[in-house]
Amino acid sequence: MDKFIEVRFKYDRKELFTKPEDLKLYSGQHVIVEAEKGADIGRISTIDIESDKINVKNSIKKIIRPANNDDLRILARVRKKEIDAKKKFLEALKNQPFDMDLVDIEYQFDGNKLTFYFMSETRVDFRNFLRDLAGIFRTRIELRQINERQEIKRLGGFGPCGRELCCKSLNLNLNKATIQMAKHQNVTVSTSKISGLCGKLLCCLTYEEDFYLERAKEFPTLEDEIIYNNKTMKVTKNNYLVDTVELKDENHFGITISLDEYKSLKNKKGLRSTRKVSSSKSKRKK
């Protein structure tokens, strides 16, 4: 089975690469990699990623070699060039008819590409600006608009749980979080409760979704009815982390029982529909 290496670059950009079999690599190591029309430098974040765990859409480039001390010295000079490029960019922006917030700048290691990351509240037609920048820097220019989630991931911070943001601390490649995920996980569907620092739905909703869907297979469906202490009660909530089930009767009297107790009642035919229960009561009255 093919295995890949994940490499992270500036601005938390990450890509997958193949590696020659004779290279010994480790997490955190700087490496020189193939890039579009040239070479780039990044740091290994994850090694030995199996091909069946990723969705490969484009051709995967390869790692050329580990970076040496000379490469790291060149990288330091590249970072200084980015500081100068920022000043020139902001000066050129003054002559443009739109507003954008420059977030970061990234030179490709070989200088063949310069990327400007920016945020804007509206869509920006920057074609003329792109030509101006190409004339100033004499290299290939890319203007990349990012959103609030991507910017918070870059800056980092702490979530409402008190831990470092998942998008920053974990190696995540998540699909978009949804309200339905919050419902699956018994999280209060309140914007303030399930929104992160970026204002979007919490990344951990997606991160934990598979766990809750798997646990749900062991629990009853909401609104299922069961006979408990000679009363018909409905399942109102499943507590997946503590293995309990919450029940309520028609008078909204609630009780919590263990999942094992629920299953025991179910196996003893304690699970019935309201229609059958009312029918049996009418027979007893006769």
Q: How many residues would you count in the chain?
A: 286
Q: Would you state the pLDDT for residue 160?
A: 78
Q: Would you state the pLDDT for residue 269?
A: 60
Using CA atoms, how far residue 178 sits from 174, 183, 205, 263, 270, in Å, is: 12, 9, 8, 31, 35
Question: Average per-residue pLDDT in the chain?
Answer: 84
Amino acid found at 135: G
Which of 2-6, 74-78, 156-160, 229-233 has maximum average pLDDT?
A: 74-78
Q: Would you state the pLDDT for residue 281?
A: 40
**pLDDT tens track for 224-252:** 988 888 888 999 999 999 999 999 998 88
Buried b / exposed e along 116-155 (16+ C-beta atoms within 10 A): bbbeeeeebebeebeeebeeebeeebebeebeebbbbbbe
Is pLDDT of 125 > 90? Answer: no
Q: Return the SS3 of 274.
A: helix
Rounded average pLDDT over 267-281: 46
pLDDT, greater one: 151 or 219 = 219
Is pLDDT of 169 > 80? Answer: no
Domain ranges for the chain, please list them.
3-67, 73-146, 163-214, 225-285
Is pLDDT of 141 > 90? Answer: yes
Percent of the chain with pLDDT over 90: 45
Using CA atoms, how far residue 57 sits from 15, 37, 177, 198, 202, in Å, is: 12, 20, 22, 28, 26
Is the Cβ–Cβ distance between 39 and 17 less than 8 Å? no
Q: Is the domain 73-146 a CATH 3.30.300 member?
A: yes
Is the Cβ–Cβ distance between 181 and 153 less than 8 Å? no
| Residue 267, CB-side half-sphere exposure with 13 Å CA sphere | 6
**pLDDT tens track for 21-62:** 888 899 999 999 999 889 999 999 888 887 765 666 567 899
Q: Which of 86-100, 130-144, 246-260, 268-282 has the lowest mean pLDDT?
A: 268-282
At 71, is the pLDDT very low, low, confident or very high (cuts 50, 70, 90)? very high
The set of residues, in sequence order, having a beta carbon less than 8 Å from that of 235 and lying 6+ positions away, is: 220, 221, 222, 223, 224, 225, 226, 245, 246, 247
**pLDDT tens track for 155-167:** 778 887 888 887 7
Is pLDDT of 68 > 90? Answer: yes
Is pLDDT of 270 > 70? Answer: no
At 2, is the pLDDT very low, low, confident or very high (cuts 50, 70, 90)? low
